[in-house]
Chain A
């Protein structure tokens, strides 16, 4: 004997009732999605210890879940939310919580330097770049690449060479590991040269060579050549300044 009776034994009213109930459910959900959209602002996170507790010690798992939710926040009810509308102070708090739960990850710096820095407002861009600068000091030899990208964003998108110089100097001073590529250490020098600050560039580059950080012989040769070029530029700039002063007198 079969465990189930045929569908023909089911009362017709019950089948109709079931179909009607299912259609009502789907229609209700569809209409509630179509209703007036209310933007939900990003709230402040709880302390990281609470999330650690709630996840029964699975810090890595909950950190990823929280970050995925954060990066999806700009899509609400199928609508795209501009970064301009999102509270950036809270974004920074969420990124901090993530880094506490997963200290070895660099994802928060990726989001700060590459995603959230795309906001059109200068203030928000600066917030993100300064956040990367702050976190860089936690592990300079690992995080240098995010700060170097932030330096490029500061120079080319914000036209703030002073800020780019500050970031580049931090990389030169703190990111002294062997995995840090030469161009990152030398970034400050090229920025100074770009600014016409040949004397300063000469001093920085001289210091870099003297410090013994440069291990590669080819890199040393290249930098020594660069140093002599900077000296020449610095001297010619000094001479032209003196001529101008002479003319003015």
Chain B
């Protein structure tokens, strides 16, 4: 079983490399560094803090966006070119195929995180950059899993990207939304407020709280602890398992 998964994973990585994702990664790093140097140049004081405030934020958003695009376009192309049918016509099972694709994209996420970590070391200390990069890796694992799920279900690039972006934004904002819905200034007895509050709370239980991941203040204000990684690691582990299970469930239902 492991052999099939590793073969599919390696072919996934090779495909991404042939699609020049390394060039894209390099462009992201270069762009982020140049923008942060430009902004630091505009600052009258605390130029290094200006730089450190923008660089991680741009790298985080860029990495999430590019990783999700790689997963969605690659998976959608596989389904539309019927590559999955070709693979499944051999002795590879559906579970092995999907897990192989997932692990292949995880390897791409690891390459992203590692490159970002190295580029952060130019401007930041080792430990905060390491903690931040590990958290970014957890975030990329979650986004990769969810992108694969949406791509497998929808088989359309535009719909899948839209769904992934909505998921990401909602996960980043869910804590604020829960806080707003519980505000004491709202009419707490109104049925509409109660229903909305319950719905938001229910949604918050099934979404990962990405606002606790990859915080820029770990680098800029040196507010880092190794404890900061406990939430990203545990949540990423649980969520990857959950999304993988949903993906497998859906994939097993497809009539191929």
Contacts and interface: CB of A to CB of B under 8 A. Distances in A.
B184 A18 contact: no
A72 B185 CA distance: 7
Nearest to B246: A18
B239 interface: yes
B88 interface: no
Contact of B185 (A29, A76, A115): A115
A76 B179 contact: yes
Given A25-B238, A69-B176, 20 more contacts: A3-B254, A4-B253, A5-B254, A7-B253, A10-B249, A14-B95, A14-B249, A17-B245, A18-B242, A18-B245, A24-B238, A25-B205, A29-B204, A29-B205, A68-B180, A69-B180, A72-B180, A72-B182, A74-B183, A75-B182
Residue with the highest number of chain A CB atoms closer than 10 Å, among B184, B234, B254: B184
B206 A5 contact: no
Interface residues of B, number: 28
24 contacts: A4-B253, A4-B255, A5-B252, A5-B254, A9-B253, A10-B249, A14-B245, A14-B248, A14-B252, A18-B242, A18-B246, A21-B242, A22-B242, A24-B238, A25-B206, A25-B242, A26-B206, A28-B234, A32-B231, A68-B180, A71-B183, A71-B185, A74-B184, A76-B179
Interface string A4-46: 1101011100110110011011101110100000000000000
A30 B202 CA distance: 10
A218 B158 CA distance: 69
A21 B252 contact: no
Interface of A: 1-5, 7, 9-11, 14-15, 17-18, 21-22, 24-26, 28-30, 32, 68-69, 71-76, 78, 80, 115
A4 B204 contact: no
Given A18-B246, A28-B238, A74-B184, A3 B255 contact: yes
Nearest to A28: B238
A181 to B, nearest CB: 28
Contacts of B209: 29
Interface string B71-110: 0000000000000000000000001000000000000000
